[in-house]
Amino acid sequence: MPYLNINPKTKLYFKDIGQGTPVIFIHGVWMNSNFFKEQVPYFKDRYRLILPDLRAHGRSSHVHKGHTMATYANDIHALIQTLGLQDVVLVGWSMGAFVMWEYIKQFGTANLKASVVVSESASDYRWPDWNIGAFDFAGLIDAMHAVQTDRAGFVQAFVPLMFKDAPSQANLEWMVHEVTKLPESIASSILFGQTVVDYRPMLSTIDVPTLLCFGRDEKLIPVAAATHLEQNIPDTQLVMFENSSHCPFLEEPQLFNETVDNFIQSLGGSSLRAAGFVREDNYLDDAEIDAIQPTTV
């Protein structure tokens, strides 16, 4: 099975597909690598695509401790070190951006080629000097309470907020199923831990090229957060996705994939596309995706 042993009780699930520049997609709170299903067929023929499930998310061990951005970043570092990766492109969606920034805070950028931020602000909490977070204290209390008392109802209402247009019933069902794999006790811990971090002080230290991807119709993260990041991270490029909310990689997948691909290509370096080894048909059906065999460590 494709797992990395972090410790005797913690196994990190991941897929490792393709060759070339390593690109690691880090998912958001309660989500998992399945949310990047539209990226697999495109990136696997161009790069070394790595899709982890953070601890307790998806198919990783449902451990009851370590649910801090610092520990998640350490887990990503262990994965990078174990696989011997160099010149990594980190793509952090929502909470995944916090994990990425924490990685940079702890380990620097010597091993990174670039970073991509998808739909996240420097902090999700509305501090006295920060009014563009997703939660104030009352809102956080309400969310924590809802997770403990009616998690299914909370998630059913939350997931549609990630999209400009309401997802189909089939898409809503698979996403709710994935999000609710976590026990409520772990889900509450993760929500609190990711909400109260604040990465504003370290943004100026990010010294690799950074792509910012935000939906124009964002319902969870104020669009002003994108402008703030653009102004405070030294080498940034902001792209607004006009027909997306919180999930441009699902709402406008082809445009998102091409945007990230073009950004990486602009940096130079190794990829199968640069060498000319790219399939004409960029997208696979579900059976082909399921047939992909990830690496085991």
Which segments of the chain are extended strands (E)? 3-7, 10-18, 22-26, 48-52, 88-93, 112-118, 210-215, 236-241
Query: And the tokens for 129?
Result: 């000097």
**Catalytic site positions:** 94, 217, 246
| CA 235 to centroid of chain Cα atoms | 20
Residue type, 178: E
Q: How far apart are CA 222 and CA 36, in angstroms?
A: 23
Q: What burial class does residue 53 get, using C-beta atoms within 10 Å of its C-beta: 0-12 exposed, 13-18 middle, 19+ buried?
A: buried
3-state helix, strand, coil in the chain (%, to 5): 45, 20, 40
Query: Mutual orientation of helices 137-149 and 151-158 as an angle, nearest 10°?
Result: 120
Q: Decide the pairing of beta strands 88-93 and 112-118.
A: parallel
